[in-house]
Amino acid sequence: MIPALAVLGQIVGVSAIPHDRRSTPSTLNSAPAETSSGCGSKDLTTIPLDGVLGGGGYTINITIGGQPQVVLVDTGSADLWIHSKNVTCVNVTTSQPIDSAECAFGPGGYDPSQSSTYQPLPFENSFLGSYAGGLAHGVGARDTVVLGGISVENLTFGIAEYASFQGGAGNAVDGIIGLASPSLSHLFKGDGENITAVDQIQYNSWFYQAAEDGLIDPSFSLVLNRTSQEKQRSGQTIHHLGSLTLGGTPDIATTNKSVTFTNPNFTVPFEDFEVTVKYYSAVNATFNFPGSEALGTNSTSPITLLDSGTTNIVVPQSVAEAFNAAVEPAPIMFNAELGSYIVQCNATFPDFSVTISAVEFTLQKEDLTFAESYLPEGYCLSAVGPPSASQIDGAIL
């Protein structure tokens, strides 16, 4: 996540537009969606985002079958899933049941018996969502999903009967709404045993389906604001911490820098083979800081994903090591479980930027740390970290 960027996503492409950062008063509550004239054939709809867990994730309010839900907005996945009212909390690593308090799901949850528009899928299926920091297993279904006053009928989604968020959901999150390509869907034919790629059922995310139904123009944008270290450490929900605009870009001040990203589902060379990229992505993004020239081509990532659901800025291993070595005083340690360096919150960070398609975007120093509530007073996570063991040596913004 780079809060200094507003991300514009389109079925036909993706752009990132830096904007002037202005603090938002914490007294603001989530406002209803606003409409305005867009460049396309439809009006723009702008919906406020809340920052959960002190701003570690961005959520939006939806309804499914008339039932209110709070979901994380995720450009790095395609599925919409909600925990069932009777969800079993499981360990992220072992998938074994654990105390429900450790998952700390939100008060929503989906109950098919309370929806007059619920439809089970007409075949045996399994929803098997898996994420870097959680999982959601259950079944697929269809219902009416309303976002920003825009209603999409008969939308396929997942009902999570077993689920978990690593570190818990702060009693504030009921699921995830993915905005990415249908090729990333986690719905499969059968009972979930011995599944293969041929069992995958690709279906439209809410964004893709709304565009296909002609309800919105085929683009969206995200504006992501930051919180203070004090609010980050509180772990609480911060209202009105950004916005999702459907159909284009909101009326905000920008720095007049922009870049267009390649569509999802394209192939790029990676080492000795080719990789099919299914995400909103940039090719050959270069990370810049004093001394990065010594890294040569190792400071460039062949593939860089735009993922609003990832808190860290994930960079190639060599970049993460060299950048954090330049922090003064030096990081206390690298925590492999967190995938982050632990630093003093008042540490001095070197300048840091990313160059995409010859356009350089400079990060503000305030966006290079995050004050997690579980860390001792005065200590923060460095926002720049390496890929996990399960990731290729690429990058995520």
Which residues have a catalytic role annotated?
74, 307
| Angle subtended at Cα 47 by Cα 42 and Cα 52, rounded to the nearest 5 degrees | 155
CB 51 within 8 A of CB 238: yes
Q: Is the dihedral of CA 246, 248, 254, 257 positive or negative?
A: positive
Helix ranges (H only) for 289-338 are: 317-325
Distance CA 196, CA 71 (A): 28
Please give the torsion angle defined by the CA atoms of residues 54, 58, 63 and 64, in that order, rounded to the nearest 10 degrees: -110
Distance CA 213, CA 231 (A): 40
Show the tokens assigned to 350. Answer: 């070197």
Distance CA 299, CA 301 (A): 7
One-letter amino acid for residue 88 of the chain: T
Distance CA 37, CA 352 (A): 36
Nearest-CA neighbor of 65 among 110, 15, 115?
A: 115
Helix ranges (H only) for the chain are: 100-103, 206-212, 229-234, 317-325
Distance CA 313, CA 18 (A): 16
Instruction: Give the three-class secondary structure for 191.
Output: coil
Residue 370: φ, ψ to 5°:
-140, 130
Q: Tell me, letter by letter, the H, E, C secondary structure of 45-109.
A: EEEEEEEECCCCEEEEEEEECCEEEEEEEECCCCCEEEEEEEEEEECCCCCCECCHHHHCCCCCC
